[in-house]
Chains A and B, each alone.
Chain A
Amino acid sequence: MSDTGIGARVRRKEDRRFITGRANYTDDINLKNQTYGYFVRSPHAHATIDSINISQALKAPGVIAVLTGEDLAADKLGGLICGWMIHSKDGSPMKVGPHPALAQGKVRYVGDHVAIVVAKTKAQAKAAGELVRVSYGELPAVVDPADAQKSGGPPVHDLAPNNTVFEWALGDKAATDGAFARASHVTKMNIVNNRLVPNAIEPRAAIGSYDAASDHFTLYTTSQNPHVARLVISAFVGIAPENKLRVVAPDVGGGFGSKIFIYAEEVLCLWASKRIGGRPVKWTAERTESFQADAHGRDHVTEAELAMDQSGKIIGLRVKTIANMGAYLSTFASCVPTYLYATLLSGQYNIPAIYAEVDAVYTNTAPVDAYRGAGRPEATYVVERLVETAAREMKIDPAEFRRRNFITSFPHQTPVIMTYDAGDYHASLEKALGLADYKGFPARKAAAAAKGKMRGIGFSTYIEACGIAPSAAIGSLGAGVGLWESAEVRVNPVGTVEILTGSHSHGQGHETTFAQLASDRLGIPIDNVSVIHGDTDKVQFGMGTYGSRSGAVGMTAIAKALDKIEAKAKKVAAAVMEAAEGDVEFKDGSFTVKGTDKKMAFGEVALAAYVAHKFPSNEIEPGLKEGSFHDPSNFTFPAGCHICEVEIDRETGMTEIVNWVAVDDFGTIINPMIVEGQVHGGIAQGVGQALTEACVYDRESGQLLTGSYMDYCMPRAHDFPEFKLGFTETKCPSNPLGMKGCGEAGAIAAPAAVMNAVTDALGVRDLPMPASPHRVWRTIKGMRLAAE
């Protein structure tokens, strides 16, 4: 291994500009003659728009335009779309409520877009926004997924009676019912997966710019997938054909899924720029807008049952989930509680029969879509809470219960579509038990009790499907796109390299990891490799970064392009060194001819390829540039075991995480330092869900109660111990690098590990997330009252 190749802890190339404040985020970009957009948003959860009076706003200082839904309709622009069709059990297609970028006739959540005010300064736009007079007719609102289908009030969308988007199912109902009929023990739980706000450090932002002279649009935006944004804005919204629309996602400060989606603000900045004659229109979300109008995550209500035989072997799993979609179907909303959720309900276990039903519902809340893990954390939470509870009820050690049920041979076909290709779940469990000193836990619990603390331990042996995704397979399940990835490797005449990737880095460190691959494969210094992404004018079409796909899918595309580079370079080297192509070997950055001392460095071959003096150009084309589109043949299946230990202060209900062990199998690891960082961040987000975070809407009024950090509680550095990380490795067989993906694992594993530990400490069966001090205290108090 070289010190910059695969497996090396290379410091992140991009961090110099991030840490010194020299990054180039969308809000850092200012264009000539730029104007500012301000969005008038709905203060109501559900209301008719009876009239909008813009006359005062138009007269306000600096105001250039005030545009409403009527203007949008007049220009015949299309609405925002949901790109994954789900069919209900009865075969009917999901009910897609229209989603115009500016509300037309009705607002459906607090923060819904009503008008855009464009002015010379941000302050002027905002001040004028307050002068837009909207007359609303308030309607009853519904916010809770459990209430949505039976609210009896006016539906969020008329075309979706009872607010039902779809009623979908997966698995074999009869076989599952049969398993339950012969079960010797059934564990049944009602599980709520709390709604979360993504909270990227960088708020969303957009600059739309129309150049009338060339009839060309440019959008700078905070996107995880600029090509997909261009495709949707072009083909569905109809702003401009793709060749007349450039989308640039420059440095992006965190996304966690929330910047995958195509949002109203991006479309409206583009449209408004043309409407005002081509001056660029810039908008940067205030944090309040992020809370109100970023796509939220999770928000499931589930009844789940696990059936066991006498020996503690799982024989069946039955799940009924209601998933909140919010007021509109966001870009990939429909696939999250279906094909990214129910397909993972087998966990790491050999479960012969599974049946899952999912009802998706509209409510008067912000749209809900993929958020770090997307469906897989929800599935893991259901499975791991059930498994831990079943073990406790059957008085089997939870580690032993898992051992009895682990899948041990691969490939393994689950009853819910997925074919697990490789893994060793015993290995990660045993390694984690060792790192956690599981045997020493009773002594630690006793020591904690002596100082008035309740100590508990919890497991989460999770699995996820990453490397999203084989295009034909997801196409057959309703996806509107393919999920391959593209790469182009451009070798410059002196042997430096540019990698153009369809992946998009918004914190993951691609500029380093991808360069490590090229450095490793071409035997050149890592500084000689640059990674270019995020600009549709520079980079070939690509699908972007989400679902832990950019290693397994994005880097495989790069690896394939590098294969082609090597093959072409060998041809050039053979010609220059007057050798047979088959005799040329490439190693450590040098081309040699077998059995001779002839040798050319990679840079020399690159130069030879570009000057083209030494080979017949009719046989070998000049230049050294290759591309690849890689479509994976399967998902990848990262898995592992997280063990959490907590101590709870009896008097205050405060939970402290005192020990955390994570043993993950991500297949091949390119940069362990970056992977560890991904695990740390994922755990922190998962712990946030379990202990602190909750997005709460008022059940009556539909107002967002957690609209700022005064009430929405983010986890902080001091909430965590030093994590103990370990790795096991089974190579992923479906890509040449053997990579599985690591971006979401922590967020998927953590919530169940925490709640299994908290319930263990408290000696209770369940308590809802987040296990806030108040909630834990009430639980303790309830126990005491019951004991008295």
Chain B
Amino acid sequence: MRDFNYHRPAKVADAVKLIKKAKNGKLLSGGMTLIPTMKQGLTDLTDIVDLAGLKNAGIVVGSGTVTVKAGTTHNDVADSRELKGTLPALAAVAGAIGDPHVRNRGTIGGSIANNDPAADYPAALLGLGATVITNARKIPADKFFTGMFSTALKRDEIVTAVEFPVLRRAGYAKFPNPASRYAMVGVFVSQDTAGKVRVAVTGAGPCVFRQRQMETALEKTFSPDALTEIAVSPSGLNSDMHGSPEYRAHLVNVMARRAVSAAR
């Protein structure tokens, strides 16, 4: 690991100033991706601004919404009793991330800001139509995830919380990459009280995306069988030694049906 300047501000405003000033700076939350990348010598950072000093963690269950502060660890989300009562699918997503070590360190803010194409949280945000709250603004999930490892965040913008709507039902099904346990394909499905459905797919493509054809079908009948005949196109999907685009396309259908079955 190369030398860098380490900062640990206590206020969001200070963090913003520090990251603005840095020549080549990076915000550090749980560090579950950033630190391994630094250890491998794949970064050339001058400054690390550690957000742990903000002490911005916790889950607030409001009327019709759940707000998860950006520094909340995956384990705290997975184990939240309140969340299991109001939005169990979100707790399930957090509990499916990585392993206990990662879940004890990794945070929701760090995960979505990194936007790994195979991360779990982006599916939950997009699948629930969540709102990302930053120091500067509110960004709907549909506008937040812009591409592989890229988001709508500006360089000096800091995620402070994510606000999720509590919908009628939601479910998540994940087929993990056998080696890394990232999502080879993860599908998050939700339906609101008006019957509107969201189907968000992670792992399969370069960035989390919505599967509109499935959404339409599920709005007619919210049942796994409604999806059986929908063939997902492998075009543009990821390919690696663990799975071809065809396999991933097939798994999108399988996981979508399982997510519908799991929806509560």
Q: What is A's interface to B at a CB cutoff of 8 Å?
A: 123, 126-127, 130, 288, 651-654, 692, 696, 705-706, 709-714, 772-774, 777-778
Chain A residue contacts of B231, Cβ below 8 A: none
Inter-chain contact A710/B250, CB cutoff 8 Å: no
Inter-chain contact B247/A711, CB cutoff 8 Å: no
- Residue of chain A at shortest CB distance from B240: A711
Inter-chain contact A711/B179, CB cutoff 8 Å: yes
Chain A residue contacts of B240, Cβ below 8 A: 711
* CB-contact partner of A777 in B179, B180, B241, B250, under 8 A: B250
Known: A772-B242, A777-B247. A712 touches B179 (CB 8 A): yes
Q: B176 CB to closest chain A CB, in angstroms?
A: 10
* CB-contact partner of A710 in B2, B179, B251, under 8 A: B179
Chain B residue contacts of A127, Cβ below 8 A: 2
Interface of B is mostly: loop
> How far is A711 from B179 in the complex, measured between Cα atoms in Å?
5
Instruction: Give the top 8 A-B pairs by smallest Cβ distance, nearest first.
Output: A713-B179, A710-B180, A651-B254, A713-B178, A774-B243, A774-B247, A711-B179, A692-B178
* B244 in contact (CB, < 8 A): yes
Inter-chain contact B241/A652, CB cutoff 8 Å: no
* B136 in contact (CB, < 8 A): no
Inter-chain contact A774/B242, CB cutoff 8 Å: yes
27 contacts between A and B (CB under 8 A): A123-B1, A127-B2, A130-B41, A651-B254, A652-B175, A652-B251, A652-B254, A692-B179, A705-B241, A706-B241, A709-B179, A710-B179, A710-B180, A711-B179, A711-B180, A711-B240, A711-B242, A712-B179, A713-B178, A713-B179, A772-B178, A772-B242, A773-B178, A773-B243, A774-B242, A774-B244, A778-B247
Chain B residue contacts of A773, Cβ below 8 A: 175, 178, 243
> How far is A547 from B1 in the complex, measured between Cα atoms in Å?
39
Inter-chain contact A696/B178, CB cutoff 8 Å: no
Supplied contacts A288-B40, A692-B178, A774-B243, 6 more A-B pairs, CB within 8 Å: A123-B1, A652-B175, A652-B251, A696-B241, A773-B178, A773-B243
Inter-chain contact A711/B1, CB cutoff 8 Å: no
Chain A residue contacts of B247, Cβ below 8 A: 653, 774, 777-778
Inter-chain contact B241/A711, CB cutoff 8 Å: yes
Chain A residue contacts of B243, Cβ below 8 A: 773-774
Contacting A at CB under 8 A, from B9-42, are 40-41
Number of chain B residues close to chain A: CB under 8 A? 17
Chain A residue contacts of B241, Cβ below 8 A: 696, 705-706, 711
Q: A286 CB to closest chain B CB, in angstroms?
A: 9
> How far is A772 from B243 in the complex, measured between Cα atoms in Å?
9
> How far is A130 from B40 in the complex, measured between Cα atoms in Å?
12
Contacting A at CB under 8 A, from B212-264, are 240-244, 247, 250-251, 254
- Residue of chain B at shortest CB distance from A130: B41
Most chain A beta-carbon neighbours within 10 Å: one of B40, B179, B247, B251: B179
Chain A residue contacts of B254, Cβ below 8 A: 651-652
Q: Binary interface profile of B, 137-177, with partner A (CB < 8 Å = 1, else 0)?
A: 00000000000000000000000000000000000000100
Q: A691 CB to closest chain B CB, in angstroms?
A: 8
Chain B residue contacts of A706, Cβ below 8 A: 241
Inter-chain contact A709/B180, CB cutoff 8 Å: yes
- Residue of chain A at shortest CB distance from B99: A716
Q: Binary interface profile of B, 51-66, with partner A (CB < 8 Å = 1, else 0)?
A: 0000000000000000
Chain A residue contacts of B40, Cβ below 8 A: 288
> How far is A651 from B40 in the complex, measured between Cα atoms in Å?
37
Chain B residue contacts of A710, Cβ below 8 A: 179-180
- Residue of chain B at shortest CB distance from A693: B179
Chain B residue contacts of A654, Cβ below 8 A: 175
Q: A273 CB to closest chain B CB, in angstroms?
A: 26
Chain B residue contacts of A705, Cβ below 8 A: 241
> How far is A607 from B241 in the complex, measured between Cα atoms in Å?
67
Chain A residue contacts of B251, Cβ below 8 A: 652
Chain A residue contacts of B179, Cβ below 8 A: 692, 709-714
> How far is A490 from B241 in the complex, measured between Cα atoms in Å?
56
Q: B225 CB to closest chain A CB, in angstroms?
A: 14
Q: B141 CB to closest chain A CB, in angstroms?
A: 27
> How far is A652 from B40 in the complex, measured between Cα atoms in Å?
33
> How far is A709 from B101 in the complex, measured between Cα atoms in Å?
15
Q: A770 CB to closest chain B CB, in angstroms?
A: 9
Chain B residue contacts of A713, Cβ below 8 A: 178-179
Chain B residue contacts of A692, Cβ below 8 A: 178-179
- Residue of chain A at shortest CB distance from B179: A713
Chain B residue contacts of A123, Cβ below 8 A: 1
Q: A121 CB to closest chain B CB, in angstroms?
A: 12
Q: B97 CB to closest chain A CB, in angstroms?
A: 15
Chain B residue contacts of A714, Cβ below 8 A: 179
- Residue of chain A at shortest CB distance from B39: A286
> How far is A696 from B180 in the complex, measured between Cα atoms in Å?
16
> How far is A711 from B251 in the complex, measured between Cα atoms in Å?
19
Chain A residue contacts of B180, Cβ below 8 A: 709-711
> How far is A710 from B40 in the complex, measured between Cα atoms in Å?
14
Q: A625 CB to closest chain B CB, in angstroms?
A: 49
Q: A124 CB to closest chain B CB, in angstroms?
A: 11
- Residue of chain B at shortest CB distance from A696: B241
Contacting A at CB under 8 A, from B171-194, are 175, 178-180
- Residue of chain B at shortest CB distance from A712: B179
Chain B residue contacts of A777, Cβ below 8 A: 247, 250
> How far is A706 from B178 in the complex, measured between Cα atoms in Å?
13
Chain B residue contacts of A772, Cβ below 8 A: 178, 242
> How far is A283 from B157 in the complex, measured between Cα atoms in Å?
42
Chain A residue contacts of B1, Cβ below 8 A: 123
> How far is A774 from B244 in the complex, measured between Cα atoms in Å?
8
> How far is A709 from B2 in the complex, measured between Cα atoms in Å?
23
> How far is A696 from B179 in the complex, measured between Cα atoms in Å?
13
- Residue of chain B at shortest CB distance from A705: B241
Most chain B beta-carbon neighbours within 10 Å: one of A692, A710, A712, A774: A774
> How far is A712 from B238 in the complex, measured between Cα atoms in Å?
18
- Residue of chain A at shortest CB distance from B182: A710
Q: A196 CB to closest chain B CB, in angstroms?
A: 14
Chain B residue contacts of A709, Cβ below 8 A: 179-180
- Residue of chain B at shortest CB distance from A777: B247
Q: A34 CB to closest chain B CB, in angstroms?
A: 20
- Residue of chain A at shortest CB distance from B40: A288
Q: A663 CB to closest chain B CB, in angstroms?
A: 30
Q: B250 CB to closest chain A CB, in angstroms?
A: 7
Chain B residue contacts of A651, Cβ below 8 A: 254
Chain B residue contacts of A288, Cβ below 8 A: 40
> How far is A488 from B243 in the complex, measured between Cα atoms in Å?
55
Chain B residue contacts of A774, Cβ below 8 A: 242-244, 247
> How far is A498 from B28 in the complex, measured between Cα atoms in Å?
53
Q: Binary interface profile of B, 70-108, with partner A (CB < 8 Å = 1, else 0)?
A: 000000000000000000000000000000000000000
> How far is A692 from B178 in the complex, measured between Cα atoms in Å?
7
> How far is A710 from B242 in the complex, measured between Cα atoms in Å?
11
Chain A residue contacts of B250, Cβ below 8 A: 777
> How far is A652 from B252 in the complex, measured between Cα atoms in Å?
10
Q: A313 CB to closest chain B CB, in angstroms?
A: 41
Q: B175 CB to closest chain A CB, in angstroms?
A: 6
Most chain A beta-carbon neighbours within 10 Å: one of B1, B240, B247: B247
> How far is A651 from B175 in the complex, measured between Cα atoms in Å?
11
